Structure 1
């Protein structure tokens, strides 16, 4: 097993519970980490034996464009579609950071991490 990561994918999106978040939007950063057997890729130098970063980005981008209330739900949607594309994944972690969240003070970002399978028990 090895680990494949896509880190710091940046999106401007409209996720949040509060009405102003749905109007003003915010900058989000997404990290995805998969534990996956990429032995075939190591031995055969073939993209079919590993996780395609472009596919991970496309999955994430699609879900970032559809507003949801909670980052936990958004991470879950990304994990579910990633599992459909890469069912052999042993573990998937999705971290979503909302930059400068509206919390009444100066904060760099808030974040949520959802882990598969740990958070799916």
Structure 2
């Protein structure tokens, strides 16, 4: 299996249930794992035979600009948009960490992770 990873993408955004989260904002760290066949690109050295991780990064940044109450909703949108743009993807796992959640105690962050498998041809299975 071939994989593309985007690791520790740091984005300032405004998500949360509390009103102040949508005003103040915080940093989010995103990690994506994408499964697709990369062997044509390994042989051809041609960008047209792969999925540009720059394009995936653009999708992540654009979707993070859209405020949501729940990180699950943000992750679901990102996964859907990535797959809509690249139907040759068979699996996506996305982890989003809110670095400063408004909760008691000291912590590195609070995270959610969604993953989805896709049958090649367009339909999907949730994992």
Return the TM-score normalized by structure 2. 0.90
1:66 aligned partner:
66
Partner of 2:101, secondary structure, is coil
Q: How many residues align?
A: 121
Return the TM-score normalized by structure 1. 0.94
1:120 to 106, 123, 126: 126
Larger helix percent:
1
Cα deviation 1:54-108 (Å, max 9, x = unaligned): 1011000001111101111101100001001111111100110100211111111
Following superposition, the deviation at residue 120 of structure 1 comes to 2.5
Following superposition, the deviation at residue 25 of structure 1 comes to 0.4
Alpha-carbon distance in structure 2 between the residues aligned to 1:22 and 1:89: 32
Alpha-carbon distance in structure 2 between the residues aligned to 1:114 and 1:27: 19
Q: Is the 8 A contact 1:95 1:111 kept in 2?
A: yes
Q: Is the 8 A contact 1:68 1:74 kept in 2?
A: yes
| Structure 1 stretches of 4+ moved >3 Å | none
Alpha-carbon distance in structure 1 between the residues aligned to 2:6 and 2:125: 20
Following superposition, the deviation at residue 119 of structure 1 comes to 6.8
1:40-79 equivalence runs, <5 A: 40-79=40-79
